[in-house]
A and B are shown apart, each in its own frame.
Chain A
């Protein structure tokens, strides 16, 4: 909403600087986004055209003599409407105006036009930034003071309001005037609406009925006969232009002016185009259509409210008029409508038809019915003033019961104290109400019975009035206290704690956290996991773009894409993880949001350095990370070879605790890497599922284990076994053996000196007893037993 101060001053005195006024309004909830200054033209004056001669060298140009009172200057003018005796906007050399050729604001210079020197310029709207018209010069009123600086005469300041949806009232200049008055201690001057009536009363000339009162709470109308359609006077055009609307003709301009003044949208029909002089406010019939003022034919349904004549719709109630009853240059008689339409229905119609008009912006928020006749009378008077004609006596006023009475709200001192934590003197409250235009009666000695003024639709309950009080007296007057209510017990949320812990471990072992969008394409998901066609991921109904359409069911896709995009910048190392949710559809319910942590490792193992080798990150780096995490959590896991479509065959392990799958670790399938444009020879990745991990956490608090008091004994074992025996199984057997405390795998060998189809694993095995130092014999006995078991279970033998 654009509010020119020149217009605002029509209703309220403004003696604050514009910036200060903007600040006060903003603090009170009417945010001023920008304070725009119109003017700054400098050397532009009100000029008087004293002579107009033909240009000697051009048919279309004229030579004009312009006086500014102190000097007479000769200028060339190409506008068809220039005439002797006019008051005009005269730009002298040095003026700062818009140049339509360079499309920039420039300083005006003297110029020769077709051989004749022009000592300035007579301006059209576009040069002064007052409109788009550059075919005609601006003609000022005859009483414009010759020689006055145009900055003084026409300059203005416009407050550009960024309104919240509740403050409908401030979509009007009068509404803003009420705010300004309340905030600065002034009073509002309401405009007058007076006009003369003559001839037959309106009720004899038009027959109006409301068939759908649930959608039209009030319908008022007046009739003007014998008007002359033409351009509006300059003051009216200026008002509209500065507020951001385009002037059309005098009748339509008045309806727009009163809408901006009072907030009430009005509509004017060509009376002679209304069949049988009958207006029916009703729901559209199935199959009915209307060509609206924008030239589009709209198919209507009974959900749409129309204004119809005896036969057909002539307007879409509260949204837009019909072209079949439009005001044109030949219009003589005007039926003027000022109605209160139902907000919800109005908004629905506007949305289904894709038509957001100035009218719907207001109706959808629920205008008060008291406003309709006030605005009708104001507009009727103004039309008579600018377009002439006679007004048929009386108005039509069809009022449904709904919402006819203004809201009355009881405001108590107790409520104010309970909400704000401070007392506000009732006298102060009454002053606030007065300033804002609310009327009140005393209810006992600690309460007011408050009636809400017709321009406010946002005040309905006591809390709303408390806000009116506090925003007027200022929030700084409320004390600052700490909560004194009891502190509730906060039940910890285990999965959040687990996620934080995992994130901390991952960062500590050198992995960078990333956060990706959870919306991806179906193709991205298909590339990295098997999708069940009967249970596709959730889709967004109105995606912003096709690459953000499906809710991810895995973190893999976006994580690998992030890896690919980073590979352009360096050679690694790339060590990244994401902790986020994946979304699994559930029939008829919100999806299951599974907490997942996934990571990728690729590129150089170390930061490039003169010290380090250039080895690459691989499966075992990822597995080491997973082991660190699970070790920190106290979860004992096993790793079993598994197949997964995203992972390299033979290089993927399921991370398990008993039968529960805690996650996967592996190297990404070369085909997937190629599809995603991943450049490293290998990309290692892991996924951890927080739900199962939470279930696998040790149920009891980790307990202290005494440090061993006796030395352990070490034996190095070089074991030979068939190639397909997994090291994990051998290690498990060793660790389970009685007397063994821990085992370290320190070498793996296959090749010369051992039989083909076999490999050798070398372990340091540590034997330990809690209560004594083991003797050599005890250790050897245990070792013999271990070797027997290894041979029996896995065909593992000591290397010769």
Chain B
């Protein structure tokens, strides 16, 4: 630092101050030194301030020119100061950041996690495959009349086909003394309920719980879901059923899937079939495949053209309308997709199982 000059300032002396001040500033590495520097040049008694103050001793012309360069010098020093402070701060950040190492291998703070039940997820997936094809989604009662669960589906009392559905009956007798109320054994009663409520065209799927009087094992549950499907209208054919279910199979299991039908029996459809897809695990190869048990094919659902007695039962003109129906078990589809080996996992509600999906 130079002593404040008693001499009146000149442009050269101001330039000299700026040069030495900036040189000095550039060598400073901490904020305290920079602050001292600010005091000694720009402070109330600082060198440049002193120069500015002594301008009054100059004549008007000189005061204007020297004053201008003195102000410019002040601005220059202030800018340099700011720049220096920014640099020092930046360097300090980098220095401190390099000290702030964390153990990035430690586990993170657990976020809250909840998932939908795998059955819910699969049911939604199935339904959305059909809604994309113009089907609506409706539901029906889980406690149902014999009338809808059997009679309206061409399964009268005493019919041997009733053996296909072991029934849990509700302790209730109708005025005629008949056991008339049950836990629905399938979602098919909604076929009649939906048709009773409206005229064709109809396209709906019906997801929901069903119940059977059945011992449980790895592939049987007494409590399970079904997704029923129904399309009724003019000119609906078995070929349309094939197309609809083929499209479903591709959406659910992949574009390259093939489908296959075999004859099967359900009293409420005729012809009745069982649909298989070629195995997505082995691509239909079969041999040694655990999923399709060597067959190359996996049975997915039952289906068929709605039986004329069912259509007549709801008052439809069977000369005008035809339709198809199908039904599938979402748990079975989930088991296939996720490789679950035992259906009893689904409703045992062990969180260690549910959290996997």
Which A residues lie at the B interface, using CB under 8 A? 26-29, 164-167, 343-344, 347-348, 364-365, 418-422, 461, 463-464, 466-467, 470-471, 475-476, 478-488, 490-491, 493, 496, 500, 503-504, 506-519, 538-544, 548, 551, 562, 565-566, 569-570, 574-577, 581, 583, 590-591, 593, 606-607, 609-612
Known: A483-B134, A539-B171, A542-B169. A517 touches B243 (CB 8 A): no
Would you give the shortest CB distance from A81 to chain B, in whole angstroms?
A: 43
Given pairs A481-B240, A485-B235, 14 additional interface contacts (CB within 8 A):
A166-B265, A347-B160, A419-B237, A471-B263, A475-B261, A483-B236, A488-B201, A490-B131, A519-B223, A538-B170, A540-B171, A542-B168, A575-B114, A612-B109
Q: A488 near B202 (CB under 8 angstroms)? A: yes
Q: A467 near B272 (CB under 8 angstroms)? A: yes
Asked if B142 is an interface residue, CB under 8 A from chain A, the answer is yes
Asked if B233 is an interface residue, CB under 8 A from chain A, the answer is yes
Question: In this complex, what residue of A is CB-closest to B215?
Answer: A544
Q: Which of B133, B172, B209 contacts A483 (CB 8 A)?
A: B133
Q: Which residues of B contact A591 (CB under 8 A)?
A: 143
Q: A515 near B109 (CB under 8 angstroms)? A: no
Name 29 A/B residue pairs within 8 A (Cβ), A-sorted.
A29-B262, A29-B263, A164-B164, A348-B158, A419-B237, A421-B240, A422-B239, A463-B271, A464-B270, A466-B270, A467-B272, A476-B260, A481-B240, A481-B243, A482-B244, A483-B231, A485-B201, A485-B235, A490-B131, A490-B135, A507-B115, A514-B349, A539-B170, A541-B172, A544-B215, A544-B222, A551-B143, A570-B351, A611-B109
Which B residues lie at the A interface, using CB under 8 A? 106-107, 109-117, 119-120, 124, 131, 133-139, 141-145, 158, 160-161, 163-164, 168-172, 179, 181, 183, 200-204, 209, 213, 215, 222-223, 231, 233-240, 242-244, 246-247, 260-265, 267, 270-273, 305, 307-308, 322, 346-347, 349-352, 354-355
Q: Which of A166, A481, A607 contacts B237 (CB 8 A)?
A: A481
Q: B350 near A569 (CB under 8 angstroms)? A: yes
Q: A513 near B163 (CB under 8 angstroms)? A: no
Q: Which residues of A contact B124 (CB under 8 A)?
A: 500
Q: Which residues of A contact B163 (CB under 8 A)?
A: 165
Q: Which of B131, B160, B168, B264 contacts A29 (CB 8 A)?
A: B264
Q: Which of A418, A475, A516, A574 contacts B322 (CB 8 A)?
A: A418
Question: In this complex, what residue of B is CB-closest to A420?
Answer: B238
Q: Which residues of A contact B308 (CB under 8 A)?
A: 461, 463
Q: Which residues of B contact A519 (CB under 8 A)?
A: 223
Q: Which residues of B contact A512 (CB under 8 A)?
A: 113-115, 351, 354-355
Q: A511 near B168 (CB under 8 angstroms)? A: no
Q: Which residues of A contact B145 (CB under 8 A)?
A: 590
Question: In this complex, what residue of B is CB-closest to A422?
Answer: B239
Q: Which residues of B contact A562 (CB under 8 A)?
A: 349
Would you give the shortest CB distance from A112 to chain B, in whole angstroms?
A: 45
Q: In the complex, what distance in Å separates the CA atom of A485 from the CA atom of B109?
A: 55
Q: Which residues of B contact A29 (CB under 8 A)?
A: 262-265
Q: Which residues of A contact B215 (CB under 8 A)?
A: 544
Q: A470 near B114 (CB under 8 angstroms)? A: no
Q: B238 near A419 (CB under 8 angstroms)? A: yes
Q: Which of A467, A487, A503, A514 contacts B271 (CB 8 A)?
A: A467
A-B contact count (CB 8 A): 242
- A475, A509, A606: which has the most chain B beta carbons within 10 Å? A475
Question: In this complex, what residue of B is CB-closest to A505?
Answer: B114
Q: A463 near B307 (CB under 8 angstroms)? A: yes
Q: A540 near B143 (CB under 8 angstroms)? A: no
Q: Which residues of A contact B137 (CB under 8 A)?
A: 490, 493, 496
Question: In this complex, what residue of B is CB-closest to A511?
Answer: B114
Query: Chain B: interface secondary structure?
Result: mixed
Q: Which of A348, A493, A507 contacts B114 (CB 8 A)?
A: A507
Q: B240 near A482 (CB under 8 angstroms)? A: yes
Q: In the complex, what distance in Å separates the CA atom of A389 from the CA atom of B270?
A: 49
Would you give the shortest CB distance from A365 to chain B, in whole angstroms?
A: 5
Q: Which of A164, A485, A548, A565 contacts B349 (CB 8 A)?
A: A565
Q: In the complex, what distance in Å separates the CA atom of A341 from the CA atom of B244?
A: 44
Q: B223 near A488 (CB under 8 angstroms)? A: no
Would you give the shortest CB distance from A421 to chain B, in whole angstroms?
A: 3
Q: In the complex, what distance in Å separates the CA atom of A672 from the CA atom of B311?
A: 52
- B181, B237, B272, B307: which has the most chain A beta carbons within 10 Å? B237
Known: A481-B240, A566-B350. A590 touches B144 (CB 8 A): yes
Would you give the shortest CB distance from B349 to chain A, in whole angstroms?
A: 4
Known: A343-B160, A612-B109. A421 touches B349 (CB 8 A): no
Q: B239 near A583 (CB under 8 angstroms)? A: no
Q: B202 near A541 (CB under 8 angstroms)? A: no
Q: Which of B106, B141, B233, B346 contacts A486 (CB 8 A)?
A: B233
Q: Which of B113, B120, B179, B262 contacts A27 (CB 8 A)?
A: B262
Q: A483 near B350 (CB under 8 angstroms)? A: no
Q: Which of B114, B120, B170, B355 contacts A541 (CB 8 A)?
A: B170
Q: Which residues of A contact B133 (CB under 8 A)?
A: 482-483
Question: In this complex, what residue of B is CB-closest to A549?
Answer: B171
Q: In the complex, what distance in Å separates the CA atom of A338 from the CA atom of B24?
A: 127
Q: B169 near A540 (CB under 8 angstroms)? A: yes
Q: In the complex, what distance in Å separates the CA atom of A165 from the CA atom of B158?
A: 13
Q: B112 near A509 (CB under 8 angstroms)? A: yes
Q: Which residues of A contact B238 (CB under 8 A)?
A: 419-421, 470, 478
Q: In the complex, what distance in Å separates the CA atom of A472 from the CA atom of B271?
A: 12
Q: A482 near B247 (CB under 8 angstroms)? A: yes
Known: A488-B202, A496-B139, A609-B107. A506 touches B114 (CB 8 A): yes
Question: In this complex, what residue of B is CB-closest to A606?
Answer: B110
Q: In the complex, what distance in Å separates the CA atom of A347 from the CA atom of B159?
A: 8
Q: A510 near B158 (CB under 8 angstroms)? A: no
Q: Which of B169, B239, B305 contacts A480 (CB 8 A)?
A: B239
Q: In the complex, what distance in Å separates the CA atom of A521 from the CA atom of B307?
A: 40
Question: In this complex, what residue of B is CB-closest to A569?
Answer: B352
Q: Which of B114, B170, B246, B265 contacts A164 (CB 8 A)?
A: B265
Would you give the shortest CB distance from A485 to chain B, in whole angstroms?
A: 4
Q: Which residues of A contact B142 (CB under 8 A)?
A: 518, 581, 583, 593
Please provide the 10 A-B residue pairs with the shortest distance between their CB atoms, ordered closest to farther: A510-B112, A29-B263, A421-B237, A490-B136, A421-B239, A485-B233, A164-B265, A467-B271, A607-B110, A475-B261
Q: A480 near B246 (CB under 8 angstroms)? A: yes
Q: A347 near B239 (CB under 8 angstroms)? A: no
Q: B160 near A488 (CB under 8 angstroms)? A: no
Question: In this complex, what residue of B is CB-closest to A458?
Answer: B265
Q: Which residues of A contact B141 (CB under 8 A)?
A: 590, 593
Q: B347 near A166 (CB under 8 angstroms)? A: no
Q: B168 near A540 (CB under 8 angstroms)? A: yes
Q: In the complex, what distance in Å separates the CA atom of A694 from the CA atom of B97?
A: 54
Q: Which of A542, A566, A574 contacts B213 (CB 8 A)?
A: A542
Q: In the complex, what distance in Å separates the CA atom of A489 from the CA atom of B183?
A: 30
Q: A513 near B263 (CB under 8 angstroms)? A: no
Q: In the complex, what distance in Å separates the CA atom of A586 from the CA atom of B64?
A: 104
Q: Which residues of B contact A576 (CB under 8 A)?
A: 349, 351
Q: Which residues of B contact A609 (CB under 8 A)?
A: 107, 109-110
Question: In this complex, what residue of A is CB-closest to B131?
Answer: A490
Question: In this complex, what residue of A is CB-closest to B351?
Answer: A566
Question: In this complex, what residue of B is CB-closest to A581?
Answer: B142
Q: In the complex, what distance in Å separates the CA atom of A421 from the CA atom of B265?
A: 21
Q: In the complex, what distance in Å separates the CA atom of A516 from the CA atom of B124?
A: 19
Would you give the shortest CB distance from B293 to chain A, in whole angstroms?
A: 12
Q: Which of B242, B267, B272 contacts A478 (CB 8 A)?
A: B242
Q: Which residues of B contact A574 (CB under 8 A)?
A: 351
Q: B262 near A166 (CB under 8 angstroms)? A: no
Q: In the complex, what distance in Å separates the CA atom of A571 from the CA atom of B265?
A: 50
Q: Which residues of B contact A467 (CB under 8 A)?
A: 263, 270-272
Would you give the shortest CB distance from A329 to chain B, in whole angstroms?
A: 37
Q: B233 near A508 (CB under 8 angstroms)? A: no
Would you give the shortest CB distance from A614 to chain B, in whole angstroms?
A: 13
Q: In the complex, what distance in Å separates the CA atom of A507 from the CA atom of B260?
A: 38
Known: A420-B239, A481-B237, A496-B139. A508 touches B179 (CB 8 A): no
Q: In the complex, what distance in Å separates the CA atom of A486 from the CA atom of B235?
A: 11
Q: In the complex, what distance in Å separates the CA atom of A347 from the CA atom of B163?
A: 11
